[in-house]
Structure formats: structure tokens, C-alpha cells
Structure 1
Amino acid sequence: MWWLDAFSTYLYGLSVVVTAIAMLMLVSGLDDLFIDIVYWSHRLWKSLFIYRRYEHTDYQELYGPAEKPLAIMVPAWHETGVIGHMAELVATTLDYENYHIFVGTYPNDPDTQRDVDEVCARFPNVHKVVCARPGPTSKADCLNNVLDAILQFERRAHMTFEGFILHDAEDVVCEHELRLFNYLVGRKDLIQIPVYPFARQWNNFTSLHYLDEFAELHGKDVPVRETLAGQVPSAGVGTCFSRRAVLTLIEAGNGIAFDVQSLTEDYDIGLRLKAWGMEEIFVRFPVLRHRRHPEGESCLGQSWRESNVICVREYFPDRLMTAVRQKSRWIIGIVYQGYRTHGWKQGPVLNYFLWRDRKGAINNFVSFSAMLILLQLILIWLLQQVWTDAPRFVSIFEGRVWFDYILTANIVLMGNRMLQRIIFVSGYYGVKQGLLSIPRLLWGNLINFLANWRAIRQIIKCGDPRRVAWDKTTHDFPSISGDNHAKRSLEEILVANGMASEQALHEAELHRIDGLQLGSSMVHEGRITAAQLACSIAEQIGVSCESVDPTGLPRDLLGVLPARTALHYAILPLRHEGRTLVLASECYIDPVSLAAIARQLGRPVRYVIAHKGQVTVGLRRWYAHACDHDRDPHHLLDIAARSGHLHGNRVALVWDSYVSRQVMLGEILVAQGHLDEVAFRSLLLSHARNPQPLGEFLVERGAISREILDRMLVLQAALQPSIANLLLREVAVSAQLATPTEQAA
């Protein structure tokens, strides 16, 4: 029968294809086996000879270096509702304070801009950047705009960032990440930490196949690459570049650091920095404090060390076509654009890893073809079992002994691949996910095949891999509590509460006292009271308002708050409410600073807004020791009252007048425009460990000149009256109001 001849010819052709695929699988399998051998050999060597002589670095050592300023760069296109979650989570979980987040938005994406504006109102260390061109451009183009804004911010703030960190808006950042970067950034130019995707429901194979691939890639492959080649590919998130690296990239690119035509600018930069001789490192640093699982529950087979490494967490796409789009972008950028841009290097070791990066262009088709062939052979075997009279064909594997050895080797290598996958997935996620990674191999092969096919079609359509446009994928973000609301202006609240009219505000702005912000100026002029200003500030930021007696704080309560913390954040301790310490401040304390205070004190904290000057006077009395007992303003006022120079409520009025007109040097510098308010906060962080007075520190850092400092100190003295001058004025007024008989007396 003709169909028998046709099928026999098909089987013969299939045998040729199977032979070619088997050979390719053998080469790839041996390649992977070599990486396995190197990894386990290196791990055994370190266990036998390194860690027996030297202990693992404890995470407490990360707290040794002072906090360097770090910049986090976040590109955002159609990321409404995500940036706020990220800023909230970072502020409440990061064990670090001296950082700023720069979010790159687009002029034609008003929803994301509005969302970022609301976040910036709550978090002074979050800054919105609007790209020059409408989106979506490439991620690299967005990052170039963000980087330019960072350098402008540096010039305005008189500060320099030591590390530049890549993150996406949906990333969940580990609490010790910035501590680790701060510890290494002075010695390394590219620092990469692992990425571990969040696990979804067990049957969501599309999302979970990312889990399998990243667990093995960042658990074994990249560490081996760093060991042998000294080169680390950036993952695009959880990457920190040194200042030297960023400035070198800008100089080499004539002002442009990231290749705008690259779909994988992170991978591209890793190769460029290596070619310039810079130091790159992949860090798997476990923070071992107590046994915990990253998902919040214990998992059988999970490794304590592996599951507590500092890493980046995020959800990856859970829909087939979304995953295909994302992976096709990776394939175009790494395989095709990477070859066009970087070609091959001189060193054989790095070339070997470049070949491993690019072999996926073939392997994805080979793996998928092998899966299809296996399905066909299974169907033929099943047909022969069910249909006993079916023609019996000679097996395509018979008659070639050497081919049997290849098949046997491939089976053994495939078994090793499954074993390695189980080990590395189980180490972080537990045995359940490790075993489920085996059936997910087939689904992963399908996704990689479709992604490779899509990448080829895009390149053919564009005619050049470097012309393929950025195809962004959407992500999910874990739900957390907290709403984002932009703060109302102080002027709006004063008018709404009837404390001042719009005309009065206009006049107050026109006649604002030099060196004071509007609210303080209105208090000094008597347009509003210190209590009204405090209530308005409290309403603006959503906390309560209280009047504080800065002279009557218990000494045991003062001992709870260290002087360095009190002076740095301009806060006073008020009382205990259970374990919570209630603090007083005259202005807004952002969530980052509030979380930092809680970590330093080791207890929950909340704060209230005190009346203007009350915290300033309290800090000078209890923490700054700016005056001795004989010159203490409250002591001098008591002497005046006991001597009869003041009567009745005049004592309280003079004290309130003195307190409400006290001004800090920082407010004057900001009001005069010598320092940006956000930049001043960053400088305060740098000043935290410096014993110099603030003014001297600012001069030494170049933030202000000596002349400006001297002028501001003179202005500060002129703005805030001394208690002695107020008493003299009070006595003079009393004398003028006295009757002739009283004057004679």
C-alpha cells in the first residue's frame, strides 16, 4: 500500500532528524554537565578548605560602613498603582535610610505621573522624572533620562551618589539589600544579587517555570560564570553600579550610559564593564537570624541558608502570550543583538559563556523538536498496542550501536538535568516545588520555542535585530496596606479652617520675613498663633497635634531616646503607650525616617506635631546643652517671675513668645534657597555620624560657603529673640503702662 511506503520514508527521514537532534542534545548536555561539575567541585573545595579556616561573613558586618547615598532607578510606563506600593514597602522594610528613588515617567502617561506625584507628596526621597520623548521608548532610553535627572539632583543638592541601583516598579526589595550594596560598592563596580520569583498556585505552570529557571540560573550558572570568567550578567533588577562604572559609561557613550537600541541594556552593560577591566560580583549573601521561609511558612526540603539570601522578589507573567513576549525580548537582546554588538571576545573562557548565552537560539528548537518526536513515537507505540494487526515497522533506533550509546548518554544527562533542577528549586522553595519543576520542563520548552519563533519573526519583519521596539510586559505586585494621598497645601488648610483669608495669605507672602518659611513668618508677625500653625501641619499630614512642655520631660524618658537620634530627626520623647514610644516633632516625618527611628530604638514609634519652637527649645535644653543653668531661658524667666517683674499670665505669654520664635539653622538655609529641602535631608543623613556642628559640616562638604554660614548665623540670631531681651522689653512696656503713683513708687 502506498501509505506504508510513504510512512516508511517518513520514519527514515525522522531517524535522520533524530540523529541530528540527539547529537545536539549530547553537546548541550555535556556543556551543562561541565557547569555542574565545576559548581559542585568549587562548593566542595570551599567547604573543605575555606570555611574550615574562615567563618562565613555575618550580616552584622553590613552595618559597619556609614550609609553612602544610593540612587534607585525605576522606569515606569503604565505603572499606575504600582509605584506607591513599592515606595511604601521599601520605606517600611528597608534597613537603610540614605537612598532616593527616581521614577522615570513619560509625558503621554498622565495616570502614572499622577500616581507618582501622590507618592512624592508622602515620600520626600521619591522623585518624578519626565522623559523627554513620549513613550514607550526603550527601557534604556528611560534610564538615560532618569540618570540625567540624578546628576542634576546631585548638582542642586551638593551631594554625590556612590551607587546606582536598577529596579522595576513591581520589585519587592529585601530589607538588607542596600546594606549589602553599601558594603561592597566601594570595591566592586557591578554587584548583582539573585532574583527569586514569587510562587503562584501550583498549576500555574507559565508563572512557575520562571521560578525553576531563575533558581538554577542564579543558584548555579551565574556563580560558576563569575568564578571562571569574572563576568556577571546584570538581571536588570537588583543590580548596583558604582559611581566609577556609571561615569565611565556616560563618558564612553558621549553622555549616554545605556544603549537605547538594546532590549537588554542590563546584559549589554555587564559585558562593556568587563571589557574595561572593572570588577563584577554576584552575591549570594544569607542573613541567618532565625529560621523562616520566604513565603511565610515552613517548606519540606528547604535549605536554611539558600532560602534566606538577600534577593529580589517579584511576580512574573502568568499568561502564555505575555511570557512569550517577555522572553522573545530577552532572546532578541541577548542572542541576536548581543552577537551583533559584542561578537566574540579574545578570551576563550568568556567566549564559552557567550556561547552558552546564545545556544538557546538553537536549543529552544531542539528541545521542542525532541518533545514532538517523543510524542510521535509514543503515539506509534500506543497504536501498535491497541491495533494488534497494525504493520510492524523497524525501530528507527535499531542497527546503530553507537547511536544507542548516544541515546543512553542523553537519558543519563537528562536525568542529571532533572536532578539539578530539583535540588536548586527545592533549596529555596521546598521539595514540593522541586518535584513539580519536572513536569514544568515540558511547558517551559513550549514557551521558549514560541518565544524564539516570535523573536525570529520580529527580526525578519524589522530587517535588523537592533530595530526591534521595546515590548513591555505587565506585572503584578503583592498587596500591602496603605493608601496614597497627595497632601493639601498648608495655605489651603489655613483658609479652609478660617485661620487666614486668601488676602491675608497673599499679604503674608509679600511681606514674608527673610529667612523664614511662610508658616513661621506668619507666627513671627502674629498673623496666626503657633497652635494654629501646628494644627494645620498636623491636619496636612494626618497626625494629631499636641502642646509640649519642653522643660518638663522626665529624665528617664529622655534616656530612651539617644541624643544623636533626637538631634538628627529633631524629635523629643513624650510618653510610652504600651511598647510604642510617642515622639514630638514640629514638622512632617516621612515613613522612611520613621521606620529608621523605630529600628534604632527597637520598638514601635508614632509622632505628634508640637507647637512651633517647642521641640527646638527642648532639644537645646536636654540634648544639645547649648546653655548652662544660669543662662537657661526658663530659669531666667522663673527668676523674673519670683522677683516680681512679671505678673499673672504675662509669664506664660513671654514664654510662648520666646518659644514660638525659635528657628533652626536648616529652616533658614532652605527658606533662603541655599539648600533644597530634600537635599538637606540627604545631607543630614551624612552628618549623622559626623561630630562636627551642622554648619561646619555643610561648609566642609561644599554645600554652602563660609560666608553664607556666617550670614545665616547672624540672621538666625536676629530672628529668634533671647529671653533676656524679651524680659527687658516686658519691663519697659510695664513701665510705660504704669500710673504716676506706681512710677513714683
Structure 2
Amino acid sequence: MVLDAAARELALFAAVGFLIGGLDDLCIDLIWLARTAWRRITVYRRHPRATAATLASPKPGRLAIFVPAWREDAVIGQMISRAKATLRHRDWVLYVGCYPNDPATIAAVEAATRGDERVRLVIGDAAGPTTKAGCLNWLWQAMRVDEATEHRHVKAVILHDAEDAVHRDELAVYDALIDRFDLVQLPVAAVPVSGRGWWAALVSGSYCGEFAEAHGKQVVVREAVGAAVPSAGVGCAIGRRALAQAARGRDGPFDPGTLTEDYELGLRIGAAGGRGAFVRVRAADGDGIVAVRACFPETLPQAARQKARWITGIALAGWDRLGWEGGLAERWMRLRDRRTPIAAMVLAAAYAAVILWGIEAMAGLLGLAARPTSPLPPWTMWTNLGLVAWRAAWRAAFTGRACGWRMALLTVPHMVVGNLVAMAAAVRAIGLYVGIVRSGRVRWDKTVHVFPA
């Protein structure tokens, strides 16, 4: 009797949560469909789709790439080597920020640089880890010193992480579009970790569908409805003037009091009247789109650690720091950004209800109790089942477009793994948030990285 009552209450809570979230996602889907159809009818019939080859800047300029690095000796050398070998742009400088108590990363940067003046090592004046934003501000200050010394200004700053595989055409896209926009965000393509076993591939592969859908639909809709385009922290160019405005009265444009300085900076630029753009454009040689490739955590603890940082910075601390500014569209998008902890609670309730119902069913088969009835009215179960199937179909479609049909076939297992990570991350995020509130201190809660094969 107690199990039956508990299963019903948990199932009811989960059903209501799934219904609200499913309808919210359905609105995003319908807007994306309408926008896509409209652009195909009105824009692409009159104008050919742009590619990295057809984009050209009227005023080419110097581009600065910022890479903060704390204990990244396993990947930073490969990142630098790839950038030097592949980037197609005449004038760029890569600033790598390191800490004085991280000699392994410093040595890896020096070995990969090999006297190349386009790569500049910046060692901060504080032991690590501080925050990612604090490290980025060191790079900003070093860039300003170089500007004063060389008597030329940087046109834009590009944000990257130490594990990113840069795209050869990305700087050309930034250079062409940063004159029109204050922030230009390219898609991020998640790459499964290879050679570490099936479980590592499954966990890291769960990010593939998430990023494919987020950067194929959700950010597109966000821009379409007039909400600010947040920076993903990688594959993002920010105009020099917008950064200078954000840095006014401070040590730099990045706020060291947050775990998600990139996300907040994008929203602050939008709130200040700046224009952001999410850009999907084909590569110059026609081989796929211009996107940043990166591997994500391969174990559940590391994945939960990473997502906990995102949840803490965006959904919990972000609520305190950014509030609910902006119009209806902006508030809607911020609500979607901040619903993750509640969504994790809904998922936990659903899994618990299924387990309890399974225990009751087993007891009924053994004759130890009456066989349980359905914990919810049939229409509720069928409606939510339809919304879940719809969600999985969309995820598979975007995964297939970005990563191929083989990865699309793993959509359901990836979604289950993603749910487990989300629940664990929500618990950890609450602990992180409480710690920040109590101590007032924010530290770089980073994860172990692998460079894409």
C-alpha cells in the first residue's frame, strides 16, 4: 500500500513535469520548423547559401585567440600544433594563459611553440587554480600591452579551450562577420573519445546529440526570437569594442566571480544592446560546416562534474547574478536555461516511480501482494510517451545530420546516460552553489580532457 501510494505520487509529479517540459520543447520545435521553411522559401531561393569561401572581410584585421590552461599538459601541445598547421588567416596571435605552479603545462606550451611568434605564453601572477575568467583577464592584459607596443589594435578575441580542435576556416568567418556583430558563435561538435572502451565512447558520445540539437536548433531559435546569443566559451569571437566596454572599470572583461563567464558575457553584451549571431556555414572546400571539434568527459563522475559547473553557473548562481532582465523572449530563454535542476528532479522521480512499480509488479507475480494498476490515467501516460518519442526523434535527426546515422542509432542509450549524468550533476551543483554562497569564493572546477583523434 505504501509502495503503491509512493509510486503514484512520484509518477504524477514526473508526468506533470514531463508534460510542461515537453510542451516547452514543442514550442521550440515549431518555431524552428517555421523559421527553416520561411528561409528556404524567401531567402535561399533568391540567394545562394554562403560558405567560408564566399565570406570576405572588407577590413581584415588581427585576431587574438585566448586559451586558458590549468593542468592541460596532456592536450595543449596538440591544440597549438593543430592551430599552427591549419588556421587559414594572415594575422592571428594565440595567447595561452598558464599558472606559475603548473610547470608541466608551461613546458608543453613552450615545446609546441618552438619560437613561433604567433603563440605567446602568458604566466599569471597567482598560483592556480583561480578561475577561468581570472586567467582570461591575464590574457586580456597581455594583449593590451602588445597592442600598445606594436601600435595596432586587435579586431576580435576568439575564445577556445585547450582541448579544442580548431577549424581551418573559422578565423576567416570571424573576420568577415565581426564587423556586423559584437559576438559570433560557431557550432561546437562533440567527438566521442576513442580507444578507451565502449563505456567511455557511450558517455562521451552522449554529448554528440546534445550539442547537435542545441547548436542546430535551440540557439538558432534563441536568435530568431530576439533573445541574446550566449557564448559557448569555445568557437566564439567577441568584438574588441564590446570587450573593452565590458572591461570598463575592472581588470578585464571576464567576471572572476562566476563559473560560467562566457555565458554571462554573451547575455551582458545582449543586454547592453550588442548584437550576437550564431553562424552555421559550410567550409570553403564544401566538407561539412565550420565548427569546433572537442572531446567531452568519458566517465560519469567527470561528466557530472562538468555539467554541475554549468548548472551552478547558469541555473543557480546565474539566477542571482543576472536576474530576469529583458523582454518576453529573453525571459523565456533564461527560464529554459535555469530549468535544469527541476528537470533533474523530474527525471529522478520518474526513475523512482518505475522502480517502485517494478517492485510491486514482481511482488504481485510472486503472490506477495496484489498486482499494481497503472499509476497514472492512460491519457497522461500516452501523451508523455508521445512527447518523449517526439523528443528522441528530433535528437536522432539532429545527431544524424551532425554525426552520421551510426551515432543517431545510439540516441536512446545516449539519452539514458545523459539523464544519469544530469541527475548526478544537479546534486553536485547544489553543493557547489551552497559552498559559493557560504564562502563567497569561486574556483576553477575543471575536468580531465582528451584531444580529438
TM-score (norm 1): 0.58
Cα distance change, pair 127–358 in 1 and its aligned pair in 2 (3 A):
same
Structure-2 change in CA distance of 1:348 and 1:9 (3 Å): same
Contact 1:106 1:130 in 2 (8 A): yes
| Aligned equivalent of 2:329 | 349
Correspondence for 2:274: 278
1:331 partnered with 2:311? yes
Q: CA–CA distance in 2 between the matches of 1:102 and 1:343?
A: 33
- Structure 1 residues 323, 249: closer, same or farther in 2, change over 3 A? same
Structure 1 stretches lacking a partner, 5+ long: 1-7, 293-307, 480-745
Contact 2:7 2:352 (C-alpha < 8 Å) held by counterparts: no
Q: Trace 1:209-224 onto structure 2 (pairs within 5 A).
A: 209-224=206-221
Rg larger in structure: 1
Q: Which residue of 1 aligns with 2:77?
A: 84
* AA at the equivalent of 1:103: V
C-alpha offsets along residues 186-224 of structure 1, whole Å, 9 cap, x if unaligned? 111011001011123554221111112111111111100
In the TM superposition, residue 141 of structure 1 has moved relative to its aligned partner by: 0.2
Give runs of aligned pairs for residues 135-534 of structure 1, distance below 5 A.
135-201=128-194, 203=199, 204-251=201-248, 253-287=249-283, 289-290=285-286, 292=287, 308-385=288-365, 387=366, 389-397=367-375, 403-464=377-438, 467-478=441-452
Whole-angstrom distance in 2 between the partners of 1:471 and 1:136: 9
Alpha-carbon distance in structure 1 between the residues aligned to 2:416 and 2:24: 20
Highest relative contact order (Cα 8 Å, sep 6+), 1 or 2?
Answer: 2
Aligned equivalent of 2:8:
15
Tell me how far 1:175 sits from its aligned partner: 0.7
2:54 to 52, 57, 61: 61
SS of aligned partner of 2:445: coil
Distance, in Å, in 1 between the alignment partners of 2:153 and 2:387 is: 51
2:56 and 2:439 mapped to 1: Cα distance? 45
Question: Does structure 1 conserve the Cα–Cα contact (< 8 Å) formed by 2:281 and 2:289?
Answer: yes
Q: Deviations over 1:145-186 (max 9, x none)?
A: 110000001101111100101001111011100000000011
How many pairs were matched up?
Answer: 449
User: For residues 229 and 383 of structure 1, what CA distance do their matches in structure 2 show?
Assistant: 54
Q: 1:348-389, CA deviations, whole angstroms, 9 ceiling, x for partnerless residues?
A: 11000000000011001211321232233234335544x3x3
1:462 Cα deviation from its structure 2 partner: 4.3
SS in structure 2 of the partner of residue 162 of structure 1: strand
User: Which segments of structure 1 move beyond 6 Å, counting only runs of 4 or more?
Assistant: none
Secondary structure of the 2:157 match is: strand
Distance 1:171-1:311 versus aligned 2 partners, 3 A rule: same
Percent identity, aligned pairs only, is 35
Q: Is the 8 A contact 1:63 1:179 kept in 2?
A: yes
Q: 1:248 to 1:452 in 2, by over 3 A?
A: same
Contact 2:186–2:291 (CA<8 Å) still a contact in 1? yes
Which position in structure 1 is the counterpart of 2:33? 40
Alpha-carbon contact 2:4-2:357 (below 8 Å) kept: no
- Give the SS at the match of 1:43: helix
Displacement of 1:256 after TM fit?
Answer: 2.6
Bigger shift: residues 58-67 or 28-37: 58-67
Amino acid at match of 1:220: K
C-alpha separation in 2, matches of 1:183 and 1:337: 35
Partner of residue 494, structure 1: none
- Asked if 1 retains the 8 angstrom alpha-carbon contact of 2:32 and 2:221, the reply is yes
Query: CA 1:116–1:13 in 2, change beyond 3 Å: closer, same or farther?
Result: closer
Matched residues in 2 for 1:478 and 1:45: separation?
36
Q: Report the secondary structure of 1:72's partner residue.
A: strand
Q: 1:173 to 1:462 in 2, by over 3 A?
A: closer
What is the DSSP-based 3-state SS (H/G/I as helix, E as strand, rest coil) of the residue aligned with 2:409?
helix
Task: Please tell me whether the aligned partners of residues 337 and 466 of structure 1 are also in contact (alpha carbons under 8 angstroms).
Answer: no
CA distance in 2, matches of 1:391, 1:319: 40
Distance 1:359 1:410 in 2: 18
Residues 266 and 64 (structure 1), Cα distance of their counterparts in 2 relative to 1, 3 Å cut:
closer
Alignment partner of 1:178: what SS? helix
Instruction: Assess if the C-alpha contact under 8 Å between 1:459 and 1:468 holds in 2.
Output: no
Which digits, 9 at most, give the CA deviation of each residue in 1:587-606, with x for residues without a partner?
Answer: xxxxxxxxxxxxxxxxxxxx
**Letter of the 1:254 counterpart:** R
Indicate if the aligned counterparts of 1:193 and 1:239 stay in contact, CA closer than 8 A. yes
SS at match of 1:191: strand
Give SS of 1:455's match.
helix
SS of corresponding position for 2:55: helix
List aligned pairs for 1:547-586, cutoff 5 A. none
With over 3 angstroms needed to count, the CA separation of the structure-2 counterparts of 1:270 and 1:465, relative to structure 1, is farther
Secondary structure at 1:340's aligned position in 2?
helix
Q: Answer yes or no: is the 8 Å Cα contact 1:458–1:468 preserved in 2.
A: no
CA distance in 2, matches of 1:394, 1:478: 49
Q: 1:469 corresponds to which letter in structure 2? A: R
- Structure-2 separation of matches of 1:189 and 1:64: 15
Structure 1 position 73 matched with structure 2 position 77: no
Counterpart of 2:259, as a letter, is L
Deviation per residue, 1:579-622 (Å, 9 max, x gap): xxxxxxxxxxxxxxxxxxxxxxxxxxxxxxxxxxxxxxxxxxxx
Query: Which blocks of at least 5 consecutive residues in structure 2 are unaligned?
Result: none
In 1, Cα distance between the equivalents of 2:438 and 2:331?
23
* Deviations 1:259-298, CA, capped at 9 Å, x for gaps: 10100000110111011000100001112635x5xxxxxx
C-alpha separation between the residues in 1 aligned to 2:57 and 2:143? 27
C-alpha spacing 1:346/1:122, structure 2 compared with 1 (3 Å) = closer
Letter of the 1:258 partner, please give it: F
* CA shift in 2, pair 1:464/1:351, >3 Å: farther
The TM-score normalised by the length of structure 2 is 0.94
1:63 to partner: Cα distance = 4.2
